Amino acid sequence: MTDATYEDVLAALHDGQRFQIGGGRIFPTYAVCDGQLVVEWSDEGHVEQLPCDEATLRRAIAEAPGAFADLVRWWREGRGAP
């Protein structure tokens, strides 16, 4: 699969997927909560949820295209979509 588009990622998020990028001590998780795009920052058990705008999500996709592409592919496969 080629890189995930913003629209692919947003569709998966609106379908209930949560995308954790990275790991370790501090990492972001992108999600849609109550219809709003958010990013949750986890730091050793403490989680802070913040609003996330389109530019922030687009930047995250550009910085980790392979990770988002894999997540979108797994989401599509789980839905039986091509």
CA distance 45 to 31: 18
In this structure, is residue 37 part of a structural domain?
Answer: yes
In this structure, is residue 75 part of a structural domain?
Answer: yes
Q: Are 36 and 51 in contact (CB under 8 A)?
A: yes
- Domains in the chain: how many in total? 1
- Give pLDDT, residue 82: 55
Query: Taking the model in full, what pTM does it have?
Result: 0.85
Helix axes 54-63, 65-79, angle to 10 degrees: 100
Q: What pLDDT, in 10s, does the model give residues 26-65?
A: 889 999 999 999 999 988 889 999 999 999 999 999 999 9
CA distance 32 to 82: 23
- Give pLDDT, residue 26: 86
- Give pLDDT, residue 3: 79
Q: Is residue 22 predicted with pLDDT exceeding 90?
A: no
In this structure, is residue 1 part of a structural domain?
Answer: no
Average pLDDT value over all residues in the chain: 90
Domain hosting 58: range is 6-79
**Long-range contact set of residues 41-50: C-beta below 8 Å, sequence gap at least 24:** none
In this structure, is residue 19 part of a structural domain?
Answer: yes
In this structure, is residue 45 part of a structural domain?
Answer: yes
CA distance 7 to 40: 20
